[in-house]
Each structure stands twice: as structure tokens, then as C-alpha cells.
Amino acid sequence: MRDRKPTMSALGGALLLALALAAGACGGDDDDEDAAGDGSAETTSPEAEDETVFALEVGDCLASDPTGETVSEVPMVDCAEPHVSEVFHTTAIDAEELPSAADIEGIVQEECFAQFESFVGMAYEESALEITFLQPSDESWEQGDRELVCMITDPAGQTSGTLEGANR
């Protein structure tokens, strides 16, 4: 299965380098409960359903951040439920080779930052919200994956409802 590499950006300026979290594809979903079975180790909403990362569309919400160096599935949930991020823009990367981390940062600034204000209702620099994104991995690029997925997250924690028009 093709994968995407998860990456994240910080509020207020330059993007952080691509995150290389732990190896694996969106791990932890099979271990939602601790050994005692009381749910205290739950990391995603019980309503979350793992979906292929290639199914992400504008308006989709993720119950938890993707983890792992590459991600093939994400825990999607209805945006009315508590979630950590929402897809607000997708774009195809127009390049012969997978761009470098610096080039991806430039594409994110051109694409994600440019679309942020029209989705949220205020400029990114003035907003309390942050941009995160998913980019193709080396493997998925070789298989034809060219999609960059721009997402919005609230650094204060989970939100319920769409962030479209949130104006914050």
C-alpha cells in the first residue's frame, strides 16, 4: 500500500522540518485500550474509522494526528465530533522528482498558506490556528502519488465542528 509522510508546520513564521515520528503506519489504533481494558490509553474517538490517506478530501476531519514515518491510514471522524485536524486544501505537486524538504516547505507556503485565509476567514499570521500537512513519501511518489494535503489544527487541543469560517 502507498504511504504518505506526515509533516507539520509551526504557527508564526517558518515551517518546521518534516516530522519523522516513529516507524509504522498510523500505529496505535489496535491498542486503543490499555491492558486493564478501562480505555484510559484511548487515543482516538470511538467513532473514528481508519480510512486510506488517499481518500482525504477538503472538509474531512482526523480524530488524532497521524503517527509514524509513513502513513497509509488516518483515523477519520465526523467533524461534529472532537478532532485534531481538518483538511482545508489539497494540491498536486508538479515536479518530476519528489521535492526536497525545503522545496516542500515552499509549496506549503504557496499553497496552504494562500488558501488558509479563504477557509478560516482571517490571515494565518493573525490566527490562533496552525497548518499541518501530509506529503508523499518516497515510496508513494514512485507509485504516482503527487498530492499535498493541507490541514488546520488548533494548538489548544481538539475542536468540534468545522474550522471553516472560524475566524480565529
Rounded to the nearest integer, the mean pLDDT of the chain is: 78
Distance of CA 91 to the CA centre of its chain: 14
Task: Characterise 155 by phi-psi region: left (phi > 0), alpha (psi -120 to 50), beta (else).
Answer: alpha
Least confident range of 26-30, 73-77, 85-89: 26-30
Q: What pLDDT digit, counting tens, does each position of 105-128 carry?
A: 999 999 999 999 999 999 999 999
Evaluated on CA atoms 36, 49, 68, 15, the torsion sign reads: negative
What is the C-alpha radius of gyration for the chain, rounded to an integer number of angstroms?
16
pLDDT band at 93; cut points 50, 70, 90: very high
pTM of the model: 0.74
